[in-house]
């Protein structure tokens, strides 16, 4: 009886800790510190918004799967006393001008997509044929240590829309897996030789835009559009007014091959760049060698998901 009485008069802090541990065991959520690390790149006001957003999502941890919790805060089951990583939350806040309701809606849209589509379970070994012509792949880094993604539509080799989307999702995650000193990636989109045969269907185009804009916000460092068809200029003028200035500043368009070196050199070391773009690397895409390395990297990435899937 005395023991029961003692349980009822536990100090508030001790009671809160006990409840957290019990809840963690029930939901398989490891206790974590609730401290929000201040980000020196944010203003005081933005850091306050980040704190509020983080606290809101911590209250929703019980609604999340282990992988969703890891995506938001980089916490794994059974990890204790680990400070929360808010890099993901910052990206979603930036994507919605630090408006919590909009960022919250966008983040849960991504979390639900991840749970339904499960892009993290897409494996390189199942995309060998789809990737064989080099239409979309990661290779090298720019001068700011951002992984480089090459997109070359003329190398389209299949009509399988689902496989197209799988390769896109896999490539984005592969680029993120390569990130060490940066949280962004650089894209080189080469439209030389693009024809109607290599243009994606309207359905695939919509899915691509949705994935890039909604599920990987604030991941673009630079985008180089090279050798675009003449009609591209007209199209870009029509849509450029809807592109945020900060995004527009990341897009470089080159119509002339003679200008490629001068456009790329400030951003990418020439020994990291294919010769066709003014670099020094000969025949950079070798599928057999590259995909063997890709599969090895994918095995390491997948091993990190232990306990999350």
Tokens of 180: 């060490």
User: For 286, phi and psi rounded to 5 degrees?
Assistant: -125, 105
Angle (CA) 170 50 215, round 5°: 20
pLDDT-derived band at 20, boundaries 50, 70, 90: very low
Three-state DSSP state, 39: coil
pLDDT value of residue 40: 60
**Nearest-5° angle of CA 214, CA 219, CA 220?**
105
Which strands, in side-by-side order, build the sheet including 185-190?
136-141, 147-151, 185-190, 220-226, 251-254
DSSP 190: E
Of the two residues 72 and 237, the one the predictor is more confident about is: 72
CB 131 within 8 A of CB 287: yes
- Read off the pLDDT band of 33 (50, 70, 90): very low
Q: How do residues 255-275 score in pLDDT, each as one tens digit?
A: 888 899 999 999 999 998 888
29: confidence class by pLDDT, cuts 50, 70, 90:
very low
Q: Could you tell me how many helices (H) and strands (E) the chain has, helices first? A: 12, 5
CA distances from 303 to 297, 308, 309 (A): 10, 10, 11
Q: What pLDDT, on a 0 to 100 scale, did the predictor assign at position 299?
A: 96
**Banded pLDDT at 39 (limits 50, 70, 90):** low
Alpha-carbon distance 2 to 132, whole Å?
72
DSSP 132-183: TT-SEEEEEE-TTSPEEEEE-GGG-----HHHHHHHHHHHHHHHHHH-SS-S
* Position 10 confidence tier, pLDDT thresholds 50, 70, 90: very low
Give the percent of the chain with pLDDT over 90: 56
Axis crossing angle, helix 161-178 with helix 202-210, rounded to the nearest 10: 20
How deeply is 204 buried, as exposed, middle or buried, from its count of CB atoms within 10 A (0-12, 13-18, 19+)? Answer: middle
21 or 253, greater pLDDT? 253
Query: Mean pLDDT across the stretch 171-194?
Result: 93
pLDDT at residue 68, as a whole number: 94
d(CA 67, CA 118): 10
Question: How does pLDDT run across 94-142, given as a tens digit for each residue?
Answer: 999 999 999 999 999 999 999 999 999 999 999 999 999 999 999 999 9
| Whether pLDDT at 174 is above 90 | yes
pLDDT at position 38: 52
pLDDT for res 36: 45
pLDDT tens string 186-234:
999 999 988 777 777 777 877 888 898 889 999 999 999 999 887 777 7
Report the C-alpha gap between 293 and 118 in whole angstroms: 23
pLDDT score for 146:
96
């Amino acid at each position: 009886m005395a023991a029961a009485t003692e349980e009822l008069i536990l100090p508030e802090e001790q009671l809160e800790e006990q409840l957290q541990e019990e809840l963690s065991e029930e939901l398989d959520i490891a206790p974590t510190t609730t401290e929000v690390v201040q980000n020196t790149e944010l203003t005081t006001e933005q850091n306050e918004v980040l704190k509020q957003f983080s606290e809101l999502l911590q209250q929703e941890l019980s609604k999340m799967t282990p992988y969703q919790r890891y995506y938001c805060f980089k916490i794994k089951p059974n990890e204790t006393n680990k400070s929360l990583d808010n890099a993901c939350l910052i990206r979603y806040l930036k994507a919605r001008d630090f408006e919590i309701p909009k960022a919250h809606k966008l983040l849960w849209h991504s979390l639900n997509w991840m749970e339904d589509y499960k892009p993290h379970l897409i494996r390189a070994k199942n995309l060998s044929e789809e990737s064989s012509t080099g239409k979309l792949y990661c290779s090298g880094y720019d001068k700011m240590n951002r992984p480089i993604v090459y997109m070359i539509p003329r190398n389209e080799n299949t009509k399988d829309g689902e496989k197209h989307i799988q390769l896109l999702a896999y490539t984005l995650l592969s680029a993120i897996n390569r990130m060490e000193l940066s949280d962004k990636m650089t894209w080189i989109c080469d439209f030389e030789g693009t024809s109607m045969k290599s243009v994606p269907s309207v359905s695939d185009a919509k899915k691509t835009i949705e994935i890039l804009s909604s599920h990987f916000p604030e991941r673009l460092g630079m985008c180089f559009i090279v050798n675009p068809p003449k009609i591209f200029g007209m199209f870009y003028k029509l849509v450029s007014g809807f592109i945020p200035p900060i995004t527009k500043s990341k897009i470089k368009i080159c119509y002339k091959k003679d200008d490629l070196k001068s456009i790329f050199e400030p951003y990418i070391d020439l020994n990291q760049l294919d010769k066709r773009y003014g670099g020094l690397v000969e025949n950079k895409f070798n599928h057999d060698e590259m995909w063997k390395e890709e599969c090895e990297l994918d095995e390491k990435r997948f091993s990190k998901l232990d306990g999350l899937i």
